[in-house]
Amino acid sequence: MNRTKRVCFLTVLTILLLLIVQSYPQINDTWPYIGELTEYTLSYFGVPASKICFHVVDTLRLNNRLIFQVNVAAKSIGFWSKLFKLDNIYESYIDYHHLLPLKFSKKVRQKNIKQNWMISFDQANHIAQIDSEKVWPIPENCHNFFSMIYTIRQLNFADIDSFELYLDVESIVWKTVIRKIAREIICLPSGNYKAIRFSLDFIPVEKGKKRSWKTDLLTNRMANENSELSIWFSDDAFRMMLMIEYKHSIFSTKVQLSKIYRSISLKKYDGDI
């Protein structure tokens, strides 16, 4: 009798464990970016100024929610490192299912500013805050730059021409209109690729609002009402971010994919250009 009870108990336990496991998404099948490690070169006036590394670290649980962690490191190089030292680390913790940011930390070590901040996004109550000191409202389903990138990568490019989302850039919230512009072949240090170019237009939610503190160079350049921002993604199921071009007045900045250390296979274009 005792043996029969033990067998029944183990059978029920096994079924429960199988149900629990099946309730979690299968990361390797549905989320191919885990483990991805890529390097980009940021050029200013055509001169390489910094290296930016993206690493999709892993999935983990935060407040009983499944999230994935994206680490980004930016460091000045060459000629520009003597003029403007930059050594920044950004970590974004993004909800796996809704692709919305929950936490974002940054360690900034650049010539004119040093910061070690954690920004929390309370999506349910529409609030973002830095270390319990600086608090500001955010709209429903509000992104940061990194969650926006992976949201675009998850879209079916064949089904969309444009869409909108809200982007928070450290208390300045922008209605961001993203438009599919054209299919192109682009030449990068890492190779030639078939790509889809998107343009991003930024409309301030609060006209004339100014940030009450200084921020780092990359954050400050992320969005501007009078800027032109274009992003190229690979024209395949993987949708790798290939290039960003930022134009503001006479200034032009490019961020180009320079190395792929680890990812699923990204097919290069070998035809005529």
pLDDT at 95: 93
Q: What is the pLDDT of residues 3-54, one digit of tens each?
A: 565 545 445 444 433 433 333 333 333 567 888 999 999 998 888 999 999 9
The pLDDT value recorded for residue 3 is 59
Q: 224 versus 129: which is more confidently predicted?
A: 129
Between 197 and 261, the more confident residue is 197
Model's pTM, two decimal places? 0.82
pLDDT band, residue 171 (cuts 50/70/90): very high
Across the chain, what does the average pLDDT equal? 83
Give the pLDDT of residue 261. 85
The DSSP string of 138-185 is --TTEE-HHHHHHHHHTS-GGG-SEEEEEEEETTEEEEEEEEEEEEEE
| For the chain, percent of residues with pLDDT exceeding 90 | 51
**pLDDT value for 33:** 81
| pLDDT recorded at residue 265 | 58
Mean pLDDT of the 104-122 span:
90
Report long-range pairs for 267-272 (Cβ below 8 Å, ≥24 apart). 267/193, 267/236, 268/191, 268/192, 268/193, 269/185, 269/191, 269/192, 269/193, 269/194, 270/192, 271/185
198 within 8 A of 176, measured Cβ to Cβ: no
Tens digits of residue pLDDT in 179-188: 999 999 999 9
**Bigger pLDDT: 128 or 86?**
128
| 189 pLDDT tier (thresholds 50, 70, 90) | confident
For residue 178, the model assigns a pLDDT of 95
Secondary structure letter of residue 47 according to DSSP: E
Q: Is the pLDDT of residue 110 over 90?
A: no
pLDDT at residue 6, as a whole number: 55
Q: What is the pLDDT of residues 54-94, one digit of tens each?
A: 999 877 887 888 889 999 999 999 887 777 888 999 999 99
Calculate the CA 181 to chain-centre distance: 21
Range of weakest confidence among 128-142, 163-177, 235-249: 235-249
Task: Give the per-residue pLDDT at 150.
Answer: 92
Contacts 24+ apart (CB under 8 A), 210-213: 211/170, 211/171, 211/172, 212/134, 212/171, 213/134
Q: Domain residues of the chain, as ranges?
A: 26-262
Give the pLDDT score at 40: 96
Q: What is the arithmetic mean of pLDDT over 199-216?
A: 88
pLDDT at 27: 32
Which letter does DSSP use for residue 10 in this model?
H
CATH of 26-262, one of 2.60.40, 2.40.360, 2.40.10, 1.10.3470: 2.40.360
